[in-house]
Structure 1
Amino acid sequence: MIEDIKTDAKARMGKALDALAGNFNKIRTGRAHPSILDGVQVSYYGSDTPLSQIANVVVDDARTLSVTPWEKNLVPDIEKAIMKSDLGLNPSTAGTVIRIPMPMLTEETRKNFIRQARSEAETARVSIRNVRRDVLADVKSLVKDKAISEDDERRASDDIQKITDRFVADVDKALAGKEKDLMEI
């Protein structure tokens, strides 16, 4: 019973860590990476569709992305969507291929990205703590129902706190890696 609760806590905290990794991928560094465009939605036959579903996104070189749409008539729509995406990117079209050069990051933009990364990390920490709170409430309800003893509750609480601490440390490690990545020139 307690093991199931701990397993559930690990799974839910792991999802918070996965969400953080996804959010970190959207914060661009100076290098080109296809995941930068994951949040770009293109109007495709009246509905917003993720760019990755209507085009092939590849890295040309360390500072350039290349987008090749599946349909030729989508080029202007994709170009507009990339410009509107608040990523600070300026695509240029050559026939059916859209090239997106990654601009150099200034010190100010690096600091803004680091601030954004810290905010995302804090959101992940809060999410992990919320999972801890929910799981501890489940353990308390087991004690109230007399399904487990108070000693078992104390042990379970200690184990859950250790699990929480480990996941928060993973968030801190991921944040440190992203900050280091952003500060590289």
Structure 2
Amino acid sequence: MTIRYTALSYALLAAFAIDTHAGGKPGEQAEEGIGKESTDYALFTTKLMDYALIDNAYKANTLASELTLGTYISDYVTVEGRAGWGYGKDQATPGLDVGIVYWLSWYMGLAYPITEYSTVHGKFGFSHVQADTSRDNSNKKFKDIPKDFLQSTFSMSWAISGDLAITDDLYVTAEYGRLHNDTTTGVKTTHCGLGILYEF
């Protein structure tokens, strides 16, 4: 299953859950969206990372986890830091395996409550990413791709997500975004994931 089909599945699942949880009242403003200022949160997410190489001609996928710590600096604006780590490598093409090792990110975003139980987010920031490759030395096809996969370890990042309340302080969240775009090598790293968010 490709990354876009996986992301679409997450989006449809989240939309169905939100509609069911809200009792058929879409568009109802969330009261808990007011008074979020100074609320802190922690989020643990499991992600599917998608690596697109050379104008999407070659692709690979690996699993990863991410820990996020953030705060609402106003009722509708969030600031957060993230740390993530990958699990192993995947074959992009015979002779080349790729995978992410870890990343550190900073985001600022807008949060908008769409029902009493759900909120959507749009976030923009930057990331430092370390990745790795394993390759067959006889394969000269990817000589322009560095051993550590990315020519530049820093990149602008963005993400869109939705939260669904389970309890007053606990939420399930789904997210899709782009972690890294290496314009030199043409490698784009996107992700989709599900997680649990706790507000305190």
Higher relative contact order (CA 8 A, sep 6+): 1
Q: TM-score, normalised by structure 2?
A: 0.22
Q: Which has the higher strand share?
A: 2
Q: Which has the higher helix share?
A: 1
Bigger Rg, which one: 1
